[in-house]
Structure 1
């Protein structure tokens, strides 16, 4: 592991707290995800096939993008003390091979009795177009 996760405690987290990071979607990431998921759909993997669709070029797997929410929660907000409870996903626009994405999470609710935080999660491309949004619920462990 090349990074050490943050270690936020429930009490230290606050509504409005945000974290963002960016990631370039390159051939290696796409191929690794296809291998792990078993999804080799030609829309994702075949340049010639994708060129003849209404997208005009290769489209990143939606679930590959969504997997960056795991990095958001497990490494940054809250980090080491997190336990994913749920995640909703709305796929708004396609992401293409070569795009740079911006992943963001913002705490919008805290439930002290459960030590549960609710995050608004979004992924945008560099032009600001929303690609995915949703809501994550995360238990903050002791």
Structure 2
């Protein structure tokens, strides 16, 4: 199977089993920016003293920040520009910490050319361990 780089993949070329991925290292400024954008200033994300006393032992990234990397794949790799989310479900398995590199991966599980919808399995990993699993459905408008 091809691993697609930046670009758009026409629905007629999308096949079950196709994969794409995106990686990014989480920084302190990413977490602060996400807190500002989302309004989620939970101290487990933004307060080192509070987080040190939590079950995580230190600050963790917002789960939806890592899950947002799926959107980067869908909008730039497969299917590509113009597609829109229909649905996404998420299971948060492990925390993501500052300086962790998150790799988001998607794999096509279903192609409905008539409805122009593609289904995907979605996984985020840190150091080879799953931190998020789920599935997504994407709609590809006609151009």
Aligning the two structures, in what range does the TM-score lie when normalised by the shorter sequence?
over 0.9
CA contact (8 A) 1:9 1:81 kept: no
Q: Which residue of 1 aligns with 2:3?
A: none
- Ranges in structure 1 where 5+ consecutive residues have no aligned partner: none
Q: Deviation at 1:81?
A: 3.3
Indicate the RMSD between aligned Cα atoms, in angstroms. 1.4
TM-score, normalised with respect to structure 2: 0.91
Matches within 5 A, 1:29-44: 29-44=30-45
In 2: Cα distance, 1:44 partner to 1:23 partner? 18
The TM-score with structure 1 as length reference comes to 0.92
Q: Which runs of 5+ in 2 are unaligned?
A: 1-5
Deviation at 1:107, TM superposition (A): 0.4
Number of aligned positions between the proteins:
138
Distance in 2, matches of 1:67 and 1:22, equals 11
Distance in 2 separating the partners of 1:12 and 1:81 = 16
| Deviation by residue 1:3-43 (Cα, 9 ceiling, x = unmatched) | xx512110011111001121000011111100000111110
Give 4+ residue runs of structure 1 displaced > 6 Å after superposition. none
